[in-house]
Each structure stands twice: as structure tokens, then as C-alpha cells.
Amino acid sequence: MKISISRQNIYLLIVSIFLLIFVLLFSFLVLIPEGKEYREKRATLIKEQRSLREYQNFHDETLEFLKELQSENRAIITAFDKSFNSVKFEKQYKSYFSSLSVSKIPQITKEDEFSVYEVNTTSQISSPKSFYEFLDAINKSDWIVGVNFPIEFIREGELIKSSFSIKVYSNAKDSNKSL
């Protein structure tokens, strides 16, 4: 019995075997090692994406909190940007006292980003009520002011003289300066 295979079928068989060998070599030499590297990179990418989401959520929460604080404290933020005017201060709060004088005390240290003023007042009152009204009014002013202790009240007949110092807080004009 003689098997007769045509030349075309032999060529087709050789090409098929060659393609099968090529596919197997390509699979074992290229695809499988690259697949392993792909899985490792994919696992790394998933971890980094998770980390990115956590940081993005933290950023969003912090930004939301910052915006909320800015909206709640808008008056304080704008008050920090206003410069203190002692003449305007005297005009605005003179009504609480018989006389009011404001004098600047020279800065002792250069580290302080605020100015210190001494306020001397005289009132014709029998109690320091106008002083407390002045404190309420100064809390609603355009400046951030801290009244320092001790506050001296000296009675002279029907007059009560008071002396105290205030600190006016404001942003430094040059925010990039080095200390």
C-alpha cells in the first residue's frame, strides 16, 4: 500500500508545523514571562491607585474643612490684612471716654509680627461700665486687638482714669521675608 500525499499537502503540513513551533516558542519565550510581569505591574498599579484615592479623599476633606474655616472666619482674615490707624481708632472709640490717647510703644523684639500701643483714657463715671462697653465695641472692630493686663483704674474724685496696652495683630507686609 502506497500512500500518496500531494506536494501541496506536504507544504501545508510543513508550514503548519512551523507555525505551531513558532506559536509555542512565542508563548513560552515572550507571552508567559511578559504575562507574569504584567500581573506584577497590575498589582502595583492597584496598590498605587488605592493610595492615590486615600490621598485624594484626604485632600478633598482638608480642602472642604479649609473652605469652611475661611467662610466662618472671613471677618478675622480680612481684619488681619487691615493696617492699624491710631487716628481712626481714637475717633472711633473716643465716645466711650472723656479723653483718649493712643501712643505706639517701640518694639522690643523683631520676632513679633504685631504692634504694641498704649492707650490712656479718662472717664467721668462712677464705675468702669464704659470700659466694658469699649471692650465689646473693640471686639467688633476692623482690627484684631488684644488688650493686655494689667489694666490700671485710678479714681480721682468723680473721674476714673484708666491705662492699658493693646496689641494690634496684622500680617507682615512682606510674607517672603526671612527672620
**Spans of all domains in the chain:** 1-72, 85-169
CA distance 63 to 91: 41
pLDDT of residue 1: 64
pLDDT of residue 23: 93
Cβ-based neighbours of 134, under 8 Å, separated by 6 or more:
93, 96, 97
- The architecture that CATH gives domain 85-169 is 2-Layer Sandwich (3.30)
pLDDT of residue 47: 96
**Per-residue pLDDT of the chain in tens (179 residues, 90 and over written 9):** 677 888 899 999 999 999 999 999 988 888 888 878 888 999 999 999 999 999 999 999 999 999 999 898 887 777 777 777 777 877 887 777 777 777 766 655 554 566 666 666 656 565 667 777 777 888 777 777 777 777 777 777 777 777 777 777 666 554 444 43
Cβ-based neighbours of 142, under 8 Å, separated by 6 or more:
79, 82
CB 145 within 8 A of CB 119: no
- Check the CA dihedral 107-109-113-119 and report its sign: negative
CA distance 15 to 8: 11
CB 122 within 8 A of CB 97: yes
- State the Cα angle at 26 between 24 and 29, rounded to 5°: 100
CA distance 141 to 42: 59
Which 8-state DSSP code applies to residue 107? P
